[in-house]
Structure 1
Amino acid sequence: MARHEHDREDLLRDAVAMVERIAWRDLAGRERFVGFRSTGAVSVYLDQDPAYHFNSADQLRRGYVDGQLLKAERGQLRAMRRERPGGEVQLVSRLLSASEAEALVARMRDDLTQLADQLAGDQLTLVGQVPADQPVAKRVADWLEQLLLKPLSIARSPHAK
């Protein structure tokens, strides 16, 4: 593991596993990015933090929220935080309680609702998309609409399938 963390790479350019991807800036200048894998799994990055990764069944499988890595494990969430005692990086891990997981899922719903509202309200400026000739923004809007109609759930595993 690196000793220093840097801002995320250029997802629009580098996230080639996401065959359709799009990036915007909101009115406050924050980055919004959504990418679709060929399997139907989706990743959503809302600036540097938070990030939510879903499997093809639209269940949360991984995330990054408030500086913590999140990983689905048998329908629960494991939170991992990098600590540096003595300059050495250690990953400290714990299962979230049911109430912590519920609060995180509620926050995720709020974040995704805000993204859907920004998109519907024409409050986002397109930075770019891949492929350039496909209706990726419409796919994102449709995905968000369908996702937010149902209860959000946690995957059994962190894998994208």
Structure 2
Amino acid sequence: MHNKVKRNVIQFRLNDDEMAAFVDVKNALHSPNNAEAIRTMIADERLVNIAAKELEKGDQSVAQFLAKAWTEIGRSNLAKAVLGLHNKEGTNAVQQIGQNFEQIQSQLSGLLWSVTNLTNNVNQIAHVANLAKQEDPADTDTWNWIINSLQQILPAVQEVNSTAQLIEQFIKGDNKRSGS
């Protein structure tokens, strides 16, 4: 055994009830062995303490992030505990946070799709403009097409801007317009 590891060995005895409780926790953590379970519990306790300190300051962002992360890996009880949610009201709040997150994800996906399409359209127009400038700068039909194409894109740009503003309002908590 390596000296540093040997020096830091922790041994303790558990009665049957404590051992059964530990095995339940180890299984809930999906830990392959006792040492990994204890390491995970230490890390969790540190994270819970950080979240608790931030909650005392009125900042729920760390607790919400941890709750989301723990829920994603199948540890929803720890997620509920870190937010102090032991009743139906608290559970409903966590569910609302999850729904809000999903709604934001959906809106951002749509926004990304729109921006990608706009970028492709603008690139095509820029390519035609560069060709027209190099090959026939006096071709009014080409320049009219470019102007018309840009005018057709303008409403989409305004829609993307509007959607981005709605998402920003939603994130800041003014989500009354979206029906939440």
Give the shorter-chain TM-score range.
under 0.3
Higher relative contact order (CA 8 A, sep 6+): 1
| TM-score in terms of structure 1 length | 0.26
Q: Computing the radius of gyration over CA atoms, which structure comes out larger, 1 or 2?
A: 2
Q: Which protein has the bigger strand share?
A: 1
Q: Which protein has the bigger helix share?
A: 2
| TM-score in terms of structure 2 length | 0.24
